[in-house]
A and B are shown apart, each in its own frame.
Chain A
Amino acid sequence: MTVVSSGRVVGSWRAAWLRVEGHWAWYRRYWTSNLYSSGLQPLMYLLAMGIGFGSQVEPGPATGGLSYVHYVAPALLVAGAVQYAVGESTFPVLSGFKWQKDFIAVTATPVTPGQVLGGQLIWVSMRLLLSGVVYALIAWAFGAWLNAGAALVVLVGALTGVACAAPLMAIAATTYDEGTRFTSIFRFIVMPMLLFAGTFFPIEQIPVAIRWLAWVSPLWHGNELARGVTLGGLDLVPALGHLAFLLALFAAGGLVARHYFYRRLVV
């Protein structure tokens, strides 16, 4: 008797998409607990900072003459996306290698480590888009948007988030302990970035000597782009510069992550 296997190799994009399908099977079971961190947390920021705290802020040159809620709403979406992307590309990715070991299980099928990474990035992007849309709709109900440029802000948020996710996945792939370095990354990189990279106030308020720290942070580039597409006041060349920065971070991070995914999974 000869057995003929029904298995076959699928194309790379399809394989990455099948990973998204796998994540979706999981998400369907757990979506309620995910909704809080994705859509609701940034909304609480919007309520507290934009509407609560913002009621005490006079529109001025720093806010481009806008009310504070209009000034802060686009940036809060991007900041929320970054925070969310960081969460999704650290411990959950380490788990794929170390605890849940799903990356190890999947790479015993025709799916390759590069395709696993691709699936992970697509999945994070999709969830960033989804939570961005949820945030944008509710923020719209609060009158936090000036115009339909809000739709572009959702895209900018997803791009900024995934640009942060790619290098972090590379770091996760080289983490062999319980992930203590992630805590340092949250404390010493992500938190300062959320507070000082132009989300709540313009970086011109930061002393020149350390302002470069904002310039190299992806969140600042995302914030500038996000405000540009809905509030205006951003010229084409700087806009392209911000876009290029984010794309370059994504591409470089993705290539390094790919290298380390192979290094970790093919031993």
Chain B
Amino acid sequence: MTQGTDAVELRGIGKSFPGVIANHDVDLTIRPGTVHALIGENGAGKSTLMKILYGVQRPDEGTIRINGEDVVLKSPTDAIEHGIGMVFQHFMLADNLTVLENLVLGAEKLHGIGDDARAEISRISDRFGFGLKPDELVEKLGVADRQRLEIAKVLYRGAKIIILDEPTAVLVPQEVDSLFANLRELRDAGNSILFISHKLDEVLAIADDITVMRRGTTVGSADPKTATKRQLAELMVGSELPSPETGESTVTDTVELTLSDVTLTDEFGRNLLSDISLSIRRGEVLGIAGVEGNGQSELVEMIMGMRIPSSGHITLGSEDVTHWHTRRLREAGIGYIPEDRQRHGLLLDAPLWENRMLGHQTEAPNAKGPWINRAGARKDTQRIMTEYDVRAPSIDTPSRALSGGNQQKLIVGREMSGDPSLLIASHPTRGVDVGAQAAIWDQIKKARRAGLAVLLVSADLDELIGLSDTIQVILRGRFVGTFEPSSVTPQDLGAAMTGGEAA
């Protein structure tokens, strides 16, 4: 095979940020018509490399060759002209526009905004089995549909090389399966797909080629036909594969959190949550399984005092906290890992040590009375960075400069600090690598033995089954089934989550 036929050839790519070398001497070759997986530990430089390929960032050195032609990508517009499209982990859709409007937005020149555009959308949707309805409002779509829409957007703009940054992190297994079906269709139609994932099963299931990055450079490749998860993990982080085994039960008799018949309505009087009852005892992990968008976010925000229930009661320890505000709840000892780390968990432009204070700015070691304890906060940030392996140049680095997984580790470390009595965790290991995932699971298990009560919302069913003492399935704002983790399979859970059957 001649070299010129490769879809993408990156040679000697280097990129530095203040205090960090994000990429150096990166070589990557993507064959046309393949699915290429890029794996590596948090902060290895995967997202940076993808952003370089999509023209969001300029490399300091190295060459990019697309379909045998040397190119300089100054902006995403250049990248799109060369047939490269990217779906970011955080979707960029306008909620109050329709599917059609979102698709043509900014690409009106291609097929206009009328019937031609509509025809093109139907063609793409039918060809790859996306099932898009052009006139549906985007705010009505679930995550999986949004993702398909993002991919359709990229195809609509004529992309032949499609980059997906952690596309499966927000999906439950059935959705992952159908995404993969879509990706195979795309591949068979001659497109090249480059995707990043921390989930090694998925990588082995879909990829034709695998490239591993470590500490800013490509360290090797693996053949998905012969490689095992263990081998991949060792290539990535040099550590053992984690398994979220709970071991013996640590559930006590003391109830920490109770919700009784709680209903939450939106401003139009529609029920977001209906008659939810649950109780979590000290030392217990209650898992919530569900397809994203079925009320998990609302449940969490309600417990955290960011939404006030329209009826029912919430009790923490022995106090009625139904109308308590977030700060009071946090001061009472609740740790909170929000689902959207960038919007709810971080001040992106503030240094890490100030991010350590966020959400705990009135508590030790960050404050003394009304005063900030700068020294205390800085010292504790250092501790969190060591204990949770947060990799960053210093505690004065702005949190924006951290890789996704390192941002997540900082938040988990912060919320586990100060011995919380209750942890409300939404996707606590979303976006972290296998090694860090194991470490976070260990920390949760350790705290649980010491009496921590946990509400765990996760799209990762292995994580739910491995950590939980009980699992509740949520569907359209209601609990529709209770499962024993010891006897349930991911398949059972999956069926209940999509309304297949309730136990």
The answer to whether A and B belong to the same complex is no
Which A residues form the contact surface with B (CB < 8 A)?
A: none
Which B residues form the contact surface with A (CB < 8 A)?
A: none
